[in-house]
Every structure is written in C-alpha cells, then in structure tokens.
C-alpha cells in the first residue's frame, strides 16, 4: 500500500497482559476512509463502518490477553472471526499455535502482513471470512475463504449489530468441530442476549465471565461449548 492512499495510519507499541508487546500499525482514527475501487462497497461495508477494522479496540486487547494466558493445545486449530488488526491471532501465532485470522474487510490482510513483518513473525494464515452465506457472490469470488472446521473459534467486539440476522452464529456453527470451544469478548454493547439465544438454539451452552482491569475495561468473556460435550450440563 505505497503512500497509504486515501487514509492515514499510525504505529504504536501495544501492551498485552501476560505476553510481550506488539508493534501495530493501525488507522490514525475513525475518520479515515478510502475505497477508490469500490471493494468495500461491493461487500456491503459502509463508509461509516469502513475504518472499524483498522482501529485498536479495548476488547481486542482483552482477547489477546486471554489467548496469551490460555494453555497451548497440541494440534488445535484456531479461527479468529472479525479479526480486524488480529491482535489475538498475532499473540497465538507468536506462541506457536495453528491459527487462521479472518475478516471481510478488503484491507485487513494487507494490514496483517505489515504487522507480521513489524514483529518479525513467520507467515500467518488469513482467509476471507464474510459471515453471510452468500459466498458465491462476485465480491467474494477471488478471495480465499474460510474452509473446514476448527477446535477453537475466537472473536472480540463482534456483536455490534442489533439487527444482525444470525449470520455470525451460523458461520460459527458451520466451522466449529463437534467438541469446539467458542470465546467471544464483548464490551456490554447490549446485543449479547440475542446472540446467546441464537447460539443456544444451535446447541451451545454458555459460561459468562465478567472482565475488568486497571485500564477500566468493563466487558464479558462469553465461552460456548456444545451442550452434549459439557459434563453435568442441565438446561
């Protein structure tokens, strides 16, 4: 992205609890926008939503800290949904986990490549992860998409659409192995109950933990497992 056409960026050192800092290039602020080829518009990404992928969100830092503390599991396949700048994927990758980052924003893979280089990390798998089922649409045709099933699916601040019709929960269902765990960090935006109901309808039980730290973060860690894999589960 020579010259950063149409938008401005910044580079900063991001502290993540339980692991080393990361150097991260992000958008300068939420006023940035550039879609000269109409790629984002073709994916139904509005100008207001365009910069969201490229900002550092507190919930993303919280998820990265969760992944720094989580024990590594041999042969475990991890998928991050709506990764944005992919802090959790970068932390997991640096620890040696088999992780795939995914997002639908056309610039997410370029920012990820740059941040991998900034931190002197080996290549990290990235796949286009649009939650809608319409993956045969022309806007998706040239992008390698998320395929297969994963042992762990993670995301942060992904419950931001009050009228989201269930695309995310169905996407998780398609890509979760029968014994998969799902971890979502959610900053109390208010859309959690609807998502919880959708996940329950797909057979997932929920354990919810409040998150709070010295940076005044307030949110929740939502941990889902399929009910038939949870010992002692009672509805």
Residues composing the chain: 235
**CATH ID of 9-33+46-229, from 3.40.140.10, 3.40.50.150, 3.40.640.10, 3.20.20.80:** 3.40.50.150
The pLDDT tens digits along the chain (235 residues) read 444 468 999 999 999 999 999 999 999 999 999 999 999 998 989 999 999 999 999 999 999 999 999 999 999 999 999 999 999 999 999 999 999 999 999 999 999 999 999 999 999 999 999 898 655 555 566 788 999 999 999 999 999 876 678 999 999 999 999 999 999 999 988 889 999 999 999 999 999 999 977 678 889 999 999 988 876 555 5
CA-closest candidate to residue 223, choices 152, 131, 147, 130:
152
What phi and psi, each to the nearest 5 degrees, are found at residue 80? -100, 125
Give the pLDDT score at 26. Answer: 98
Give the pLDDT score at 3. Answer: 45
Question: What is the rounded distance in angstroms from the CA atom of residue 181 to the CA atom of residue 94?
Answer: 21
Q: Where are the chain's structural domains?
A: 9-33+46-229
Token code pair at residue 8: 């401005």
Angle, CA 60 vertex, CA 22 and CA 58 arms, to 5°: 95
Q: Can you count the helices (H) and strands (E) in the chain?
A: 6, 9
Asked if 83 and 60 touch (Cβ cutoff 8 Å), the reply is no
Question: What is the rounded distance in angstroms from the CA atom of residue 205 to the CA atom of residue 128?
Answer: 27
């Amino acid at each position: 992205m020579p010259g950063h056409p149409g938008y401005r960026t910044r580079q900063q050192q991001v502290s993540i609890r339980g692991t080393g800092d990361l150097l991260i290039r992000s958008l300068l602020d939420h006023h940035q926008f550039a879609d000269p080829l109409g790629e984002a518009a073709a994916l139904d990404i509005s100008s207001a939503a365009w910069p969201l992928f490229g900002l550092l969100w507190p919930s993303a830092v919280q998820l990265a800290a969760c992944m720094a503390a989580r024990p590594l599991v041999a042969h475990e396949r991890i998928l991050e949904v709506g990764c944005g700048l992919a802090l959790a994927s970068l932390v997991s990758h640096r620890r040696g986990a088999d992780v795939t980052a995914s997002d639908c924003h056309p610039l997410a893979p370029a920012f990820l490549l740059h941040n991998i280089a900034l931190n002197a990390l080996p290549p990290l798998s990235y796949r286009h992860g649009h939650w809608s089922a319409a993956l045969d649409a022309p806007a998706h045709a040239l992008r390698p998409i998320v395929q297969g099933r994963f042992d762990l699916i993670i995301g942060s601040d992904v419950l931001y659409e009050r009228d989201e019709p269930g695309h995310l929960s169905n996407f998780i269902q398609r890509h979760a192995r029968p014994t998969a765990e799902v971890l979502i960090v959610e900053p109390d935006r208010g859309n959690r109950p609807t998502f919880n109901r959708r996940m329950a309808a797909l057979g997932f039980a929920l354990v919810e933990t409040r998150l709070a730290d010295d940076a005044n973060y307030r949110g929740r860690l939502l941990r889902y497992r399929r009910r038939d894999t949870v010992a002692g589960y009672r509805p």
